[in-house]
Amino acid sequence: MSAIQQSTKAKYPPVPNFIGGAFVGTSGEHLEVTNPADGSVISRVPLSQNAEVSRAAEAARAAFPAWSAMPIKERVQVFFRYKTLLEKNIDGLAALVSEENGKVDSEARAEVLKSAELTEFACSLPQITAGEVLEVSKGVECRVERYPVGIVASITPFNFPNMVPNWTIPNAIALGNCMILKPSEQVPLSATRIAELLREAGLPDGVFNIVNGGQATVEAICDHPDIEAITFVGSTRVAKIVYRRGTASLKRVLALGGAKNHLIVMPDAEPEMTSSNVVASMSGCAGQRCMAASVMMAVGQSDHIIEKMVATMRAMVPGKHIGPSSRARRRSGSSATSPRRRRRGQRSSSMAAATPCPAKRTASTSVRRSSIM
């Protein structure tokens, strides 16, 4: 039975952690998980503490010797099957992304397909990571061998609940590591389905674990002595915090921060292509991706391009091109912030609530004019 199933109080029951191959509930503090389309509560997510992180680390440590000793050609067989399951279940996975994140279906499906593509790359690792033996002089060899790091953790944001976890999961695990995932507490349902599919693909118990939570969970991950490496995707401010805290205990840390993208449009730009691309960049994925355009500088006589952008934007249909959160606000006739945004503001101190693009607004961008030309 799926860990994501119907409940009488909310659409889904409280989100469990996934430790040692089993879904584990917790009685501690929980946060509500809402659908950004209408603000309805669809589940609750636990705010795990040090104890849950330690249990996940123990499970990963127990699984590491056997998993790391397995030849990489055997390890990647799990991900051949996992890729097939991602493609087979794309309808349900995309629907879950849309429901908890607010993307339109086409964007959610593209995200899941990207996860399958990332997994396909991991399947090629036996050829990419082969060792080398160099004969540097008579009777002297230089040998290059690769070994798993150990237990690694990944802290992921809310804007790509399926794809960003798969930036790390296939590669880290296929290379012989065991892993702890801490997804954004705003979009924990996709991570639960990922765990189910990995288990169905034959991944041994304890190799992959999920600990849900907020700032305390992230701090516990940064400080835990058995965790050797951390990947983080989030705001630049929090990326710096995670990097400093993780490296202070000699962990390897890859911390990816936010981006602020500016577009410069020249007067001789092709109007159709420019207007459609700028609007798509600004509005796609609810404006919450690192490459979303937040500022466009129109140089010289560019009014005709701006007018084309306005026409393109007016032709967009909420719920089809922009996402359900915009549609819900338009129905209400209010320009107030969405429930998702209010929740983010209320928990701005949470390390895990940070988004890679925190300053971007849904379906909005500013235009600056320049008289350089």
d(CA 181, CA 15): 14
**Per-residue model confidence (pLDDT) at position 366:** 52
**Residue where a domain stops, chosen among 220, 236, 256:** 256
Which of 21-25, 211-215, 275-279, 336-340 has the weakest average pLDDT? 336-340
The active-site residue, picked from 178, 285, 290, 357, is: 290
Strands 140-144 and 208-210 come out as unpaired
Tell me, yes or no, whether 210 and 334 share the same domain.
Answer: no
**Residue where a domain stops, chosen among 221, 256, 291:** 256
Tell me, yes or no, whether 29 and 95 share the same domain.
Answer: yes
d(CA 19, CA 213): 14
| pLDDT tens column, 201-245 | 999 999 999 999 999 999 999 999 999 999 999 999 999 999 999
pLDDT at 365 over 70: no
252 in any annotated domain: yes
Tell me, yes or no, whether 148 and 297 share the same domain.
Answer: no
Q: What is the domain count for the chain?
A: 2
321 in any annotated domain: yes
- Residue 243 lies in domain: 17-256
Tell me, yes or no, whether 160 and 250 share the same domain.
Answer: yes
Tell me, yes or no, whether 235 and 287 share the same domain.
Answer: no
3 in any annotated domain: no
Tell me, yes or no, whether 178 and 296 share the same domain.
Answer: no
Tell me, yes or no, whether 65 and 39 share the same domain.
Answer: yes
Contact 222, 245 (CB under 8 A): yes
332 or 196: which carries more pLDDT confidence?
A: 196
Tell me, yes or no, whether 168 and 283 share the same domain.
Answer: no
**Residue where a domain stops, chosen among 256, 273, 288:** 256
277 or 65: which carries more pLDDT confidence?
A: 65
pTM of the model: 0.80
Contact 220, 49 (CB under 8 A): yes
pLDDT at 196 over 60: yes
CA distances to 13, 36, 45 from 8, in Å: 8, 20, 16
Active site residue 290: yes
